[in-house]
Structure 1
Amino acid sequence: MDRLAQIEVFVKTAELRSLSRAAEVLGMSNAAASRHLAALEERLAARLVERNTRRLWLTEAGQEFYQRSGALLNDLAEAENAVNAHTLAPQGVLRVTSSLSFATIYLAPMLPAFRKLYPKLSVHIAVANRYLDFIEAGIDVAIRTRLHEPDTNIVVRRLGRMRRVLAASPSYLEERGRPRTPADLSQHDMLVYNLAADPFSLRLTKGDAERVVRIGAALDCNDGQVIRQAAIAGLGILIQPLYIVQDDIDAGRLLPVLLDWQLPMLTMNIAYQNRERLPAKIRVFNDFLVDYVRRTSSREIWST
């Protein structure tokens, strides 16, 4: 315990550039902190810290030891936090953002079971198809489809990869006919999700064959549920992740087209801020969500 206390005093002193401030943060007297630092230097037979009346700095040996011991304390904190996530009851408010479709199909149905496990934790869901800023919006967890975050302080964890489909209502297909080839899509009324990377260009593959088709839009919208309802009403052919329309396909409200051609898979990720100690509420939510989605989704819809 003395050796750990010595390392904690040294690391905190290096971070704060002040022995007295380190003592205050660690809840010990200046004299006790000074004794710990002196004992550490004596044990290592090296001078780690130099100071005068105006400032404190690390020696070359101190810099080397700080890099290694700081990493050691971070690993120890992570180990303790991992245990706490299972043994302590997370509490407070967890702020999550996702699209309306994902919140409706996955988040809302999973919350009763989640809150039975963690009744002291309340969940706030901000439904948004645009990417909210973590700090401005106070977001803890974001469910997103982009692969990389521009902010290097954001951690991205893969939730799964989703199939996308082309589908339309029976009434639309009866009136306009089924597309037989990708090129036929340019002659159809298309319902386009306009937040996609390149919404008016479709890349389809069949074996080694690839076709890129430019499409127009009878409707373009930034929400998948609006597009889904328009397709059911007979407005045109949608392009959506399968998880959004699987129930409609099973019920016959929508019929898939060009099934022998594949659209690129869409990757869904969990994003959260990189912190020295990840709060238990974020850890347990992420783990629960990954398990829930993989347990409740067909492999035809999602893959890991």
Structure 2
Amino acid sequence: MDRLTSMELFVAVAELGTLNKAAEKLDISNAAATRHITSLENRLNVRLIERTTRRLSLTTIGIEYYKKCKDLLSEIDQAESSISSAAVEPEGTVTITSSISFAIMHITPLIPKFNKLYPKIKINLIGANRYQDIIDSNIDIAIRTREFEPDSNLTIRKLATTHRILAASYDYIKRKGKPKTIEELQDHDILLYSHANNPRILSLSKDNEIKNFALNPIMETNDGQIVRSAALNGAGILIQPLYIIYQDIVEGRLIPILTDWKLPELNVNIAFQSRQFMPIKNRLFIDFLIEDFKNKEYERYWSSIQ
């Protein structure tokens, strides 16, 4: 028998004084109510109710058990009420991880507006350029930029498609020249982001032709913002996704190089554990981020840079 239903029925019997009224309150049959009380007494191995032809009354131990059941059911009601309230006015902390560059450029600018809409939802933002295990690290949402997403138990929602390009500052090009062929890259200063997929091999395509070029960088770093800063200061040629350097290109701080050759596309994905029973706070942030990317048409603008 369902233990919680048996406890609820017992409390109703204690307060209403009859089994019939208690059964009616819980919308169960009298026979089912009798079985619940019998099962409860058998499990506890005590008599909880004294039965007479006119009325039921609690035994001494039944009174004690009634008090404990009443307190427990009250706590359950409060817990469910709290969850229902959270659904109406969502609250809690959303733990998000992404690369430091993505966090700076595409998450932190959204926080004030999101906080205004949902003031009881807090953001815990973890900048990490290596992908963390979502389950082991208690992460709600992970932003991942990859050529492909390996099979896993995670749910994936695509945010956008982008691609990497080669670019350098005007000062660097003025000093070292602008390479016109892939082979000319060997005479240039390359700034390497070490967490890229197969970072030391540049795989470029044009029409049906594919060329692989081995990189010999003058600087290597594990953070995209460091690579960007070095390139902006004229240190060399970077290879970075457009979600990081698009604005630098549009505003002329960086100049695209070898644009007739293409690097593999990258998918910007949102990864999370499961759609089933997803906390509303997580779903709200995911929907908010997707809507922002849609409204700002990032994918269309990024594809315009060739």
Q: Please, what TM-score do these two structures have when normalized by structure 2?
A: 0.70
- 1:43 alignment counterpart: none
Describe the shift of the 1:256–1:275 C-alpha distance in structure 2 as closer, same or farther (beyond 3 A).
closer
> What is the Cα deviation at residue 88 of structure 1?
2.1
- 1:62 alignment counterpart: none
Alpha-carbon separation, structure 1, partners of 2:210 and 2:5: 62
Describe the shift of the 1:190–1:284 C-alpha distance in structure 2 as closer, same or farther (beyond 3 A).
same
AA partner of residue 233 (structure 1) = N
Describe the shift of the 1:158–1:173 C-alpha distance in structure 2 as closer, same or farther (beyond 3 A).
same
Alpha-carbon separation, structure 2, partners of 1:216 and 1:240: 16
Structure 2: state its 5+ residue gaps.
11-18, 33-42, 44-83
Query: What's the secondary structure of 1:134's corresponding residue?
Result: coil
- 1:188 alignment counterpart: 188
Alpha-carbon separation, structure 2, partners of 1:263 and 1:26: 65
Tell me if structure 2 keeps the 8 A contact 1:167–1:254.
Answer: yes
- 1:139 alignment counterpart: 139
Segment drifting more, 94-103 vs 203-212: 203-212
Query: What's the secondary structure of 2:301's corresponding residue?
Result: coil
Describe the shift of the 1:25–1:253 C-alpha distance in structure 2 as closer, same or farther (beyond 3 A).
farther
Tell me if structure 2 keeps the 8 A contact 1:156–1:269.
Answer: yes
> What is the Cα deviation at residue 163 of structure 1?
2.2
> What is the Cα deviation at residue 180 of structure 1?
0.7
Segment drifting more, 246-255 vs 259-268: 246-255
Describe the shift of the 1:25–1:99 C-alpha distance in structure 2 as closer, same or farther (beyond 3 A).
farther
Alpha-carbon separation, structure 1, partners of 2:6 and 2:159: 38
Tell me if structure 2 keeps the 8 A contact 1:101–1:224.
Answer: yes
AA partner of residue 105 (structure 1) = M
Alpha-carbon separation, structure 2, partners of 1:131 and 1:211: 28
Alpha-carbon separation, structure 1, partners of 2:135 and 2:87: 28
> What is the Cα deviation at residue 166 of structure 1?
0.5
- Structure 1 residues 60-99: aligned runs within 5 Å: 88-99=88-99
AA partner of residue 290 (structure 2) = V
Alpha-carbon separation, structure 1, partners of 2:110 and 2:275: 26
Alpha-carbon separation, structure 1, partners of 2:6 and 2:151: 35
Query: What's the secondary structure of 1:301's corresponding residue?
Result: helix
Alpha-carbon separation, structure 1, partners of 2:261 and 2:198: 18
Tell me if structure 2 keeps the 8 A contact 1:90–1:120.
Answer: yes
Query: What's the secondary structure of 1:266's corresponding residue?
Result: strand
> What is the Cα deviation at residue 212 of structure 1?
1.3
Tell me if structure 2 keeps the 8 A contact 1:164–1:263.
Answer: yes
Describe the shift of the 1:275–1:257 C-alpha distance in structure 2 as closer, same or farther (beyond 3 A).
closer
- Which digits, 9 at most, give the CA deviation of each residue in 1:213-262, with x for residues without a partner? 11111111111000000011111100001121122122222111111111
- 1:259 alignment counterpart: 259
- 1:301 alignment counterpart: 302
Query: What's the secondary structure of 2:264's corresponding residue?
Result: coil
Alpha-carbon separation, structure 1, partners of 2:7 and 2:289: 38
Structure 1: state its 5+ residue gaps.
1-18, 40-52, 54-83
- 1:67 alignment counterpart: none
RMSD over aligned Cα atoms: 2.9
AA partner of residue 108 (structure 2) = A
Tell me if structure 2 keeps the 8 A contact 1:85–1:280.
Answer: no
Tell me if structure 1 keeps the 8 A contact 2:87–2:280.
Answer: no
Tell me if structure 1 keeps the 8 A contact 2:90–2:118.
Answer: yes
Query: What's the secondary structure of 1:135's corresponding residue?
Result: coil
AA partner of residue 259 (structure 1) = T
Q: Which runs of 4+ in 1 moved over 6 A?
A: 30-33, 84-87
Alpha-carbon separation, structure 1, partners of 2:231 and 2:7: 63
Tell me if structure 2 keeps the 8 A contact 1:163–1:242.
Answer: yes
- 1:174 alignment counterpart: 174
> What is the Cα deviation at residue 208 of structure 1?
2.0
Tell me if structure 1 keeps the 8 A contact 2:179–2:257.
Answer: yes
- Could you say which structure has the larger radius of gyration? 2
Query: What's the secondary structure of 2:259's corresponding residue?
Result: coil
Query: What's the secondary structure of 2:135's corresponding residue?
Result: helix
Alpha-carbon separation, structure 1, partners of 2:245 and 2:85: 35
- 2:160 alignment counterpart: 160
Query: What's the secondary structure of 2:203's corresponding residue?
Result: strand
Alpha-carbon separation, structure 2, partners of 1:28 and 1:184: 80
> What is the Cα deviation at residue 267 of structure 1?
0.9
State the identity as a percent.
Answer: 41
Tell me if structure 2 keeps the 8 A contact 1:163–1:300.
Answer: no
Describe the shift of the 1:85–1:300 C-alpha distance in structure 2 as closer, same or farther (beyond 3 A).
farther
Q: Please, what TM-score do these two structures have when normalized by structure 1?
A: 0.70
- 1:148 alignment counterpart: 149
Alpha-carbon separation, structure 2, partners of 1:117 and 1:26: 43
- 2:4 alignment counterpart: 24
> What is the Cα deviation at residue 27 of structure 1?
7.3
Alpha-carbon separation, structure 2, partners of 1:105 and 1:230: 18
AA partner of residue 148 (structure 1) = E
